[in-house]
Amino acid sequence: MSPESRPSSVPDLLAMKAAGRRIVMLTCYDALFARLLDGPDIDILLVGDSVNQVLAGRDSTLSATLDQMIYHASAVRRGAKALLFVDLPFLTYQVSVEEAIRNAGRVMQETGAHGVKLEGGAAMGSTIDALVARGIPVMGHLGLTPQSVNTLGGYRVQGRADDAATRLLDDARAVEEAGACALVLELVPADLARRITESVRIPTIGIGAGVHCDGQVLVLHDMLGLNDAFQPKFLRRYAELAAEVRRAAHDYAADVRSGRYPDDAHSFS
């Protein structure tokens, strides 16, 4: 793997951490955006169960389904060749190890993904181990785990108290020991994220977890400013496309109503 190339396989992620190369991940849910993102800049595309909120308008990720994830992941795969991970939705991997294997296997078989992502720490160790043993790479997810939002009491920073920080450190080591290839840290204090990153060999990918992680991930529509009602502290917008969409719709409507569109240049003789 050359310093300029993006990762083409899961082991490349470990090599990137060892070399000190920051990992860039974005969510993606469709073929069009996948084509736009499929280049040297983005290392990993994640088909997150956040699709349930971003595109389906739900209040949480909890009602996302396996078929929904497979549909969107298949579309992304058709649009891009980048390294692709797919979230396993709520209750598709927690009920039993056997069910987790079956559902993760469907994702891999039907989408062409490189791996799956699941939430949870030490309690998910046997599940992660079983998936990896069957050739399914697993990315872990600790800190704010959206599928546990009701238990956590909302979308809030995790690991501020000493005992909570210790649990997250222990969970990170357990996820690594079980065989995970990478670990998302969401809404974790920056110093704790640094300690976790330094204590595990696998790369950490932060979202609201500070600069010391081995990489970063954002939800694409948030990063582009399309979801302009969502303004958490950790989010930096790199475009303001919501305003552009509204402007374009306004100009289109004005041209249609005035008869300026379609004109001769946009009509057939």
Give the catalytic positions in this structure.
Answer: 186
Structure tokens at 23: 């990992």
168, 158 in Cβ contact below 8 A?
yes
Alpha-helical (H) ranges within the chain are: 11-19, 31-37, 51-54, 66-79, 97-111, 125-133, 149-152, 162-178, 190-199, 220-223, 241-258
Q: Which residues contact 96 (CB under 8 A, 6 or more apart)?
A: none
Determine how many CB atoms are found less than 10 A away from the CB of residue 55. 13
Pick from 182, 186, 216, 185: nearest CA to 201: 182
184, 196 in Cβ contact below 8 A?
no
